Amino acid sequence: MDFSIISNFVEALPANFQKLPASFQDLAARDPQGLLYGAAGLLSAVLLLLYVVRGRRSRDGKPLEQNTKTSHMDRRTATSQTQADTKARIASSADGASELQKKPQPAPTQHVGQSRRAPLMLASTNDIVSNETRALDLSEFGVYAPHFDFNDSDAFKMAIKEVREAQNKVASDEGITIADPEATVQEPANIALDRLAARAYRADCDAAIATVTWNTIEQREERLSKTQASIDAMLLSAGRIINPAFATLKLKELRLTHEQREKLKEEKETRAELARLKKEEALLTKDATLAEKEEVRLQQAVAKANQAAQKATGEEAFELEARAGELTRELETAHHKAERARDMVQQSNAGYLYVISNVGAFGEGVFKIGISRRPDPDAYIEDLGQESVPFPYDTHATIYSDDAASLRDTVYAALDDKRMNRTGRHNGFFTATLDDITTELTRLVPDAEISSSAEAQGYHQTLAQLRQNESGAA
């Protein structure tokens, strides 16, 4: 803006003051402050007039410099052509960028047809987090399909590192923003604008990646696409765009980060299952030791009872023989239990498959199917009920198998469409009828004994007490 007019006006004030009419000179003598305010108002009006004139010339597309070579009509025509070319280029670049992933990258939103630069609209990290505090229904956006098949989280970590290194290489060699190769008008690169756009795009992508969760992954993918389109619109008149190769790598980093976190959850569940099995192995060893000690104790007791019965006579001899027979039966049970415990210690896959229900906790038609490696599965089921549910479990079947895990997996596969939790691999709850379970078990283990009764004693007694209390209060 040319300020020479203002400076000349200020310098000429003393000389012009002498040329003013007598009335103005008299006003200056009587009220110099009022005259000063008037002069300030006049100066402000001049500045506003110059600003409006300059803004109107800029909006009309008139050149501000005398040596501008592009005419008004040529510049408007070139800008319109740039918009059309950029739209076509962005649509085609989205297809070409999909080679780096198994699933095609979502195509960025096309530019809005406008000649002036569009405002850059980006959200802060706090905005991203606050928008996701509400619970989201998976049916609102569909089930996420994994794009990578790495075996563990360390492989994902290495892949993320490689993607970030590739991003740095692209940013260094080509730049995060590049010139649009199909634009008809190429303006000189604005380094400040390029840096601002690159930092804004990278920061928004990093914020989306840092806050991605299982129920926001598709929203984050869409956010990256919208951010790219928004910055491309801002750079439209400059003939520059976000580098499609860099955008593709950012999308890949987002998906890798999400799937790594899901793999970490899966590994945590696996570690918990291994810890449970390790605990059961320790209990199995302890139970086997106790069973052997009990067998030895009963052997000694039977021997003593037999010796005493041989020495006794009459009624005493009869009672001692009866006692010896009872101890012998206990010894047989203990021997069988100790033998089974020793076998289970030696066979790492041996165990019991159990089928239990809990009407008071889960309602009718819900069954839990699992395995236990303890020699006494009933004791395991009793402990299971005391830890997690308000009422004891009802046992419908306990089936011994040399490969209990394989038997369990086969039953799980047959009842897969009846799972309550479709994502929990080790979760054994099913909404099925006992007939469905019985049919599958008898097919696999023909001599399996299955009980159809569900006593639910604690639950029914509780209901009876509640009814009694209600009737007494009435």
pLDDT tens sequence across 98-132: 443 444 444 444 443 333 344 444 444 444 444 44
Of 326, 346, 366, the residue that ends a domain is 346
Structure tokens given for 55: 């803004």
In a shared domain, residues 260 and 359: no
Report the DSSP beta bridge partners of residue 399.
Answer: 353
DSSP state of 152: S
Residue 212 lies inside a defined structural domain of this protein: yes
At 469 the pLDDT is 86
Of 346, 364, 380, the residue that ends a domain is 346
In a shared domain, residues 332 and 456: no
At 114 the pLDDT is 38
At 399 the pLDDT is 94
Q: Helix, strand, coil shares of the chain as percentages rounded to 5? A: 65, 5, 30
Residue 87 lies inside a defined structural domain of this protein: yes
Residue 64 lies inside a defined structural domain of this protein: no
CA distance 382 to 394: 9
Residue 26 lies inside a defined structural domain of this protein: yes
For residue 330, give the nearest of 308, 301, 357, 354 by alpha carbon. Answer: 301
At 207 the pLDDT is 94
Q: How many domains does the chain have?
A: 4
In a shared domain, residues 305 and 320: yes
Q: What amino acid occupies position 79? A: T
CA distance 367 to 378: 16
Domain span including residue 184: 82-128+146-265
At 324 the pLDDT is 85
In a shared domain, residues 243 and 293: no
Helix (H) or strand (E) holding 304: helix 244-311
Residue 94 lies inside a defined structural domain of this protein: yes
CA distance 142 to 6: 66
In a shared domain, residues 261 and 163: yes
CA distance 43 to 280: 91
Q: Centre a 10 Å sphere on the Cβ of residue 112 and count the other Cβ atoms it contains.
A: 12
At 120 the pLDDT is 42
At 73 the pLDDT is 42
- Please answer whether residues 138 and 215 qualify as being in contact, where contact means their C-beta atoms are separated by less than 8 angstroms: yes
Residue 62 lies inside a defined structural domain of this protein: no
Residue 157 lies inside a defined structural domain of this protein: yes
Cβ neighbours for 321, distance < 8 A, ≥ 6 positions apart: 309
Structure tokens given for 382: 């009793």
Distances in Å between the alpha carbon of 347 and those of 235, 246, 350? 69, 54, 6
State the virtual CA torsion across 98, 238, 191, 197 in degrees, nearest 10.
-50
Of 294, 323, 346, the residue that ends a domain is 346
At 77 the pLDDT is 47
Answer positive or negative: Cα dihedral of 405, 406, 411, 414. positive
DSSP conformation letters of 370-438? EEE-SS-HHHHHHHHHHHH-SSPPEEEEEEEETTHHHHHHHHHHHTGGGBS-SS-TT--EEE--HHHHH
What contacts 24+ positions apart, CB below 8 Å, involve 148-156? 148/102, 148/255, 148/256, 148/259, 150/259, 150/263, 152/263, 152/267, 153/260, 153/263, 153/264, 153/267, 156/256, 156/259, 156/260, 156/263
In a shared domain, residues 377 and 416: yes
In a shared domain, residues 218 and 89: yes
Q: What amino acid occupies position 17? A: F
In a shared domain, residues 170 and 307: no
Residue 70 lies inside a defined structural domain of this protein: no
| Averaged pLDDT, groups of 10, the chain, 474 residues long | 50 54 56 57 54 49 41 43 46 42 43 39 45 43 69 90 95 91 67 89 94 92 94 88 95 95 89 84 84 88 86 82 87 84 81 92 92 86 83 92 91 92 81 92 91 83 87 73
**Degrees (nearest 5) of the Cα angle 294, 297, 303?**
140
In a shared domain, residues 255 and 321: no
CA distance 456 to 401: 27
In a shared domain, residues 106 and 214: yes
At 282 the pLDDT is 84
- Please answer whether residues 121 and 239 qualify as being in contact, where contact means their C-beta atoms are separated by less than 8 angstroms: no
In a shared domain, residues 238 and 156: yes
In a shared domain, residues 427 and 333: no
At 102 the pLDDT is 42
- Please answer whether residues 456 and 370 qualify as being in contact, where contact means their C-beta atoms are separated by less than 8 angstroms: no
